[in-house]
């Protein structure tokens, strides 16, 4: 069939619809987008990395609003990006003592405060690694 791509896309979207969150299709299969079967097809590595890049951009936009963001070195910024990605921005903002210590340049205290959390117990080695990075700045 030699239909222009936009007509084909229009027809498929017209028939399938477009959903931006996971839903269960008529056969009980988790689906997203324009009929993407997540159980059998999933997503490709490239699609996963594309989604990750978009999520990281969103984290950066939010984190750049922190008044002390620009004073942090790259390593400490990466720690906050990782935490923001994992916890969501609002979840990260619940780390009030940690963020205050970071703002004050007291990275050792911030590092300890990171480990003194429910999050640290849940993520284990991730918290240990990020805490060390925050403390050392490298």
Domain 45-136 - what CATH class? mainly alpha
User: Dihedral of the CA atoms 118, 123, 128, 134 (nearest 10)?
Assistant: -80
Task: Please give the full DSSP string across 43-73, using - where no structure is assigned.
Answer: --HHHHHHHHHHHHHHHHHHHTTSTTGGGS-
Question: What's the residue count for the chain?
Answer: 138
pLDDT surpassing 80 at residue 8: no
59 CB burial (10 A radius; 0-12, 13-18, 19+)? buried
Confidence at residue 12, expressed as pLDDT on a 0 to 100 scale? 84
For residues 105 and 80, the answer to whether their CB atoms sit within 8 Å is no
Domain ranges, ordered by start, for the chain: 5-37, 45-136
Query: What residues pair up with 128 in beta bridges, in sequence order?
Result: none
Cα distance between residue 115 and residue 65, in whole Å: 24
What is the reported pTM? 0.86
pLDDT surpassing 70 at residue 5: no
Predicted confidence (pLDDT) per residue in 54-93, tens digit: 999 999 999 999 999 999 999 999 999 999 999 999 999 9
Q: Tokens standing for 64?
A: 């750049």
pLDDT surpassing 80 at residue 9: no
Q: Compute the mean pLDDT over every residue in the chain, rounded to the nearest whole number.
A: 94
For residues 98 and 68, the answer to whether their CB atoms sit within 8 Å is no
């Amino acid at each position: 069939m030699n239909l222009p791509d936009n007509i084909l896309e229009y027809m498929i979207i017209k028939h399938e619809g477009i959903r931006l969150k996971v839903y269960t299709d008529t056969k009980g299969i988790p689906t997203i987008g324009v009929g993407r079967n997540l159980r059998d097809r999933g997503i490709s590595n490239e699609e996963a990395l594309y989604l990750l890049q978009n999520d990281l951009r969103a984290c950066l936009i939010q984190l750049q609003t922190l008044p002390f963001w620009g004073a942090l070195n790259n390593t400490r910024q990466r720690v906050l990006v990782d935490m923001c990605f994992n916890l969501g921005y609002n979840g990260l903002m619940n780390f009030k003592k940690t963020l205050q210590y970071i703002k004050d340049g007291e990275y050792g205290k911030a590092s300890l405060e990171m480990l003194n959390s429910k999050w640290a117990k849940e993520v284990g080695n991730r918290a240990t690694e990020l805490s060390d990075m925050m403390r050392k700045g490298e």
